């Protein structure tokens, strides 16, 4: 850090110039550029790259622009996918083989969560400046909660046509699963957070607990959505001729979704299972029980 050479106003001319570029990219709404510039300046030791980053930014550019910068970084998208989803290579996006066999990689849906971002659709945490990660997480959890509230209020999508109802419920399932994935990666990363300074431990725990609390409500909705998808398949068997392609596919899907719902734990081994969250939820419950006993 070049703090020693700073002029009396506390900011070196080079830093000022670099910050102006970043603020310009921020105004243009270009998160990629903001991130790239920020990391470059950190690599060149022009900006602090430890937990002082946030405080330094707030002091240098002001609280508002700092908050804006963090929220832009928190929302910056994954470069590998769209909204957390990629096509399925196994079935070439069809979701099934010959209308009779469901592709287990994508649960018969032709798309699956992107490995790169854990299905969040957001830039991986590895790309985030170290000193801003906690702030980014806190915002991601807050955003996920908002999205959750919205999704939990949405009545189960329906449609006159069974196929359309199935597709709409599938979109809903993916939207919900995406928000759960945001919370899960938060809990996962917060848990293994690189060198959390002691003073931040409380905050890290609070963020993780919050993520678990919100996600529990979403997990049940995942199951009821799959049930609704199964219902749409049933309607499909009723409206299509026995032995037709549409009929066969609907039967195969019903069987497959039925088996997913009966797994213990639910959705075991599939991308709808969120082991980090379940584990964290269990721990929270144990702690609550212990403290109630004390």
Residues contributing to the site for Zn ion (CB under 5 A) = 78, 80-81, 88, 90-91, 103, 105-106, 114, 116-117
H helix or E strand, kind and range, residue 113: strand 111-113
Phi then psi for residue 124, to 5 deg, are -60, 150
Q: How far is the CB of 106 from Zn ion (least distance, A)?
A: 3
Q: Give DSSP secondary structure letters for 24-42.
A: HHHHTT-HHHHHHHHHHHH
Cis amide prior to 265 (ω within 30 degrees)? yes
CA–CA distance, 156 with 25 (Å, rounded to integer) = 40
Q: How far is the CB of 147 from Zn ion (least distance, A)?
A: 17
Phi then psi for residue 31, to 5 deg, are -60, -35
CA–CA distance, 141 with 85 (Å, rounded to integer) = 20
Q: Nearer to Zn ion by C-beta: 108 or 231?
A: 108
Q: How far is the CB of 221 from Zn ion (least distance, A)?
A: 22
Q: Nearer to Zn ion by C-beta: 105 or 278?
A: 105
Question: How many C-beta atoms lie closer than 10 Å to residue 129's C-beta?
Answer: 23
Q: Nearer to Zn ion by C-beta: 72 or 281?
A: 72
CA–CA distance, 49 with 65 (Å, rounded to integer) = 18
Tokens of 277: 């969250």
Residue 233 · residue 227 · CB < 8 Å: no
Q: Nearer to Zn ion by C-beta: 60 or 167?
A: 167
CA–CA distance, 249 with 145 (Å, rounded to integer) = 35
Q: How far is the CB of 84 from Zn ion (least distance, A)?
A: 6
Q: Nearer to Zn ion by C-beta: 80 or 143?
A: 80
Q: How far is the CB of 45 from Zn ion (least distance, A)?
A: 31
Q: Nearer to Zn ion by C-beta: 201 or 245?
A: 245
Q: How far is the CB of 194 from Zn ion (least distance, A)?
A: 21
Q: Nearer to Zn ion by C-beta: 118 or 231?
A: 118
Q: How far is the CB of 166 from Zn ion (least distance, A)?
A: 16
Paired sense of beta strands 96-97 and 101-102, if any: antiparallel
């Amino acid at each position: 850090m070049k703090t020693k050479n700073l002029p009396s106003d506390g900011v070196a001319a080079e830093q000022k110039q670099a910050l102006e570029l970043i603020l310009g990219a921020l105004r243009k709404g270009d998160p990629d550029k903001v991130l790239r510039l920020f990391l470059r300046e950190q690599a060149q030791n022009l900006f602090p790259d430890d937990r002082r980053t946030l405080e330094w930014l707030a002091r240098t550019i002001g609280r508002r622009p700092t908050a804006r910068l963090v929220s832009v970084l928190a929302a910056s998208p994954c470069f590998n996918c769209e909204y957390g989803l990629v096509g399925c290579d196994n079935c070439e996006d069809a979701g099934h083989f010959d209308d009779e066999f469901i592709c287990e990689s994508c649960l018969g849906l032709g798309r699956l969560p992107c490995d790169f971002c854990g299905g969040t659709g957001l830039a991986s945490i590895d790309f985030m400046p170290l000193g801003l990660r906690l702030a980014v997480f806190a915002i991601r959890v807050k955003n996920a909660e908002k999205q959750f509230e919205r999704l939990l209020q949405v009545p189960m999508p329906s449609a006159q046509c069974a196929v359309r109802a199935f597709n709409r419920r599938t979109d809903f399932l993916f939207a919900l699963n995406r928000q759960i994935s945001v919370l899960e990666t938060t809990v996962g990363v917060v848990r293994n957070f690189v060198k959390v300074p002691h003073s931040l431990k409380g905050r890290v725990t609070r963020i993780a607990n919050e993520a678990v609390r919100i996600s529990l409500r979403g997990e049940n909705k995942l199951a009821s959505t799959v049930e609704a998808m199964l219902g749409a398949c049933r309607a499909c068997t009723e409206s299509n001729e026995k032995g037709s392609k549409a009929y066969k596919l609907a039967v195969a899907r019903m069987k497959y979704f039925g088996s997913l719902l009966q797994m213990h734990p639910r959705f075991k081994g599939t991308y709808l299972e969120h082991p980090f969250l379940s584990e964290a939820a269990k721990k929270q419950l144990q702690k609550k029980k212990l403290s109630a006993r004390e």
